[in-house]
């Protein structure tokens, strides 16, 4: 349970300063590890940019959709003044046609970041409500399981499926989450369009940042 006080604090926090800090194409470009980080990952097109924008209550802090050639970077955003947490937009995965070399680069960057980043408090794994957990997500969960950082599963685009289908994907995804000790047992069901689940997710991010 998230406390009402925290919900209000989170609302105020995200209504304030949220700004792009930098892109890191390799570990040596990461910001100083002096503030808590919460990372967001998921398949390309899962709705990650839209979710980040909805969390921040604005239209374009995160670029919606992929900019060619800039897909293999960790993008950092700062929240709060003074900064309370950094949000880390991880490169989307699951391009059907990505060359092996790019996939390998992606894997190395993500794995090294997840393993070595002491200020990383939690990762949010975004899963499209229409699709549920796919094999590429399962691969990501494996990397997360090995990283010793807990993760939350966030269903995106909940407005795109019927209530009965949503119930079904929630059941299936929760059953899958229970098999992963590093996965938080409760899902977040969200829509960037209707803002479903945003208040709770902001509070969860703040709670995780305070871990």
Q: Which stretch binds ligand GDP (CB under 6 A): 19-27, 76-84, 154-162, 165-173?
A: 154-162
Q: Give the other-Cβ count within 10 Å of 147's Cβ.
A: 20
Question: Between residues 94 and 150, which has the closer beta carbon with respect to ligand GDP?
Answer: 94
| Interacting positions 46-65 with ligand GDP (CB under 6 A) | 46-50, 64-65
CA separation for the pair 35, 103 (Å, rounded) = 29
Q: What is the DSSP string of 133-167?
A: S-HHHHHHHHHHHHHT--EEEEEE-GGGS-HHHHH
Burial of 138 (C-beta count, 10 Å sphere; 0-12/13-18/19+): exposed
Closest approach, Cβ 11 to ligand GDP, in A, equals 19
CB 189 within 8 A of CB 22: no
Q: Which stretch binds ligand GDP (CB under 6 A): 70-78, 156-164, 172-180, 203-211?
A: 156-164
CA separation for the pair 5, 168 (Å, rounded) = 32
3-state DSSP of 63-93: CCCCCCCCCCCEEEEEECCCCCEEEEECCCE
Query: Of residues 157, 180, 188, 202, which one binds ligand GDP by CB under 6 A?
Result: 157
Closest approach, Cβ 95 to ligand GDP, in A, equals 11
Q: Is 188 in the site for ligand GDP (CB under 6 A)?
A: no
Q: Give the x-and-dash track for 81-110 against ligand GDP (CB under 6 A).
A: -----------x------------------
Which residues sit opposite 77 in a β-bridge?
Answer: 20, 87
Question: Between residues 35 and 41, which has the closer beta carbon with respect to ligand GDP?
Answer: 41
Q: How many residues bind ligand GDP (CB under 6 A)?
A: 19
DSSP letter, residue 100: H
Query: Of residues 74, 84, 187, 192, which one binds ligand GDP by CB under 6 A?
Result: 192
Q: Which stretch binds ligand GDP (CB under 6 A): 45-53, 93-101, 137-145, 146-154?
A: 45-53
Closest approach, Cβ 87 to ligand GDP, in A, equals 13
Rg of the chain over all Cα atoms, to the nearest angstrom = 16
Per CB under 6 A, residues contacting ligand GDP are: 42, 44-50, 64-66, 92, 156-157, 159-160, 191-193
């Amino acid at each position: 349970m998230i406390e009402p006080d925290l919900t209000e604090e989170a609302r105020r926090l995200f209504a304030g300063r949220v700004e792009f800090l930098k892109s890191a194409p390799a570990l040596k470009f990461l910001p100083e590890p002096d503030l808590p980080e919460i990372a967001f990952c998921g398949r390309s097109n899962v709705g990650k940019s839209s979710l980040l924008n909805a969390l921040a209550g604005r239209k374009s802090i995160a670029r919606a959709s992929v900019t060619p050639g800039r897909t293999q970077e960790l993008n950092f955003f700062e929240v709060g003044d003074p900064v309370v947490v950094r949000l880390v937009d991880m490169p989307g995965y699951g391009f059907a046609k990505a060359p092996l070399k790019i996939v390998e680069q992606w894997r190395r960057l993500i794995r090294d970041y997840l393993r070595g980043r002491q200020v990383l408090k939690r990762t949010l794994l975004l899963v499209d409500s229409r699709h549920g957990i796919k094999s590429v997500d399962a691969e990501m969960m494996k990397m997360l399981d090995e990283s010793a950082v807990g993760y939350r599963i966030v269903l995106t685009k909940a407005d795109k499926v019927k209530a009965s289908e949503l119930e079904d994907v929630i059941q299936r995804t929760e059953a899958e989450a229970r098999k992963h000790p590093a996965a938080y047992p409760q899902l977040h069901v969200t829509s960037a369009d209707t803002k479903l689940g945003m208040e709770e997710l902001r509070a969860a991010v703040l709670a995780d940042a305070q871990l």
